[in-house]
């Protein structure tokens, strides 16, 4: 089942991220997809702010994985854009069980490495600021998150 959320501005995107963050749990995995400029990093920034992370969140394009430990739970922020699906030596699967939250940008590039249970969020650009978020939960916990968050 899919859930849809329309964001008309940055504040709406922040509200969605905060609502999902309020349902957080250790080993949560959120997979973001969407065109360049669709709001993947903005969603992650809002999620991190709600998680009370003190560091500035930036796109991990050149680092691939950034770890933030200052919040309620650790946040592992990944960007798979530059990898062409070649992640077998990175050990990303280890992050899925480190008792933190993993957010992966460009997750569709590494589908075969993703855990079975996760929340997929596709972001579609509809206008200058308008975005449609399509949430697809995989697993009961993620279905509950969608029910509670939207």
Pairwise CA distance, residues 94 & 108, whole Å: 18
Would you call 36 exposed, middle or buried from its count of C-beta atoms within 10 A (0-12, 13-18, 19+)? Answer: exposed
The total of structural domains in the chain comes to: 1
Taking Cα atoms as reference points, which of 28, 111, 22, 10 lies closest to residue 75?
28
pLDDT in tens, 54-70: 998 887 666 788 999 99
pLDDT in tens, 110-135: 888 899 999 999 999 999 999 999 99
Is the pLDDT assigned to residue 92 strictly greater than 90?
Answer: no
- Residue 38 belongs to domain with CATH number: 3.40.50.300
């Amino acid at each position: 089942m899919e859930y849809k959320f329309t964001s008309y501005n940055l504040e709406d995107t922040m509200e969605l991220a905060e609502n999902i963050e309020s349902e957080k749990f250790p080993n949560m995995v959120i997979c973001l997809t969407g065109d360049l400029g669709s709001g993947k990093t903005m969603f992650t920034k809002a999620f991190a702010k709600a998680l009370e992370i003190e560091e500035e969140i930036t796109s991990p394009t050149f680092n691939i994985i950034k770890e933030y430990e200052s919040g309620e739970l650790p946040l592992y922020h990944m960007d798979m854009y530059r990898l062409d699906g070649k992640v077998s030596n990175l050990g990303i699967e280890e992050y899925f069980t480190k008792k933190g939250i993993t957010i992966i940008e460009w997750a569709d590039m590494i589908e075969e490495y993703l855990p079975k249970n996760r929340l997929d969020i596709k972001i579609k650009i509809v206008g200058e600021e308008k975005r449609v978020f399509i949430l697809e939960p995989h697993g009961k916990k993620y279905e509950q998150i969608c029910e509670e968050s939207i």
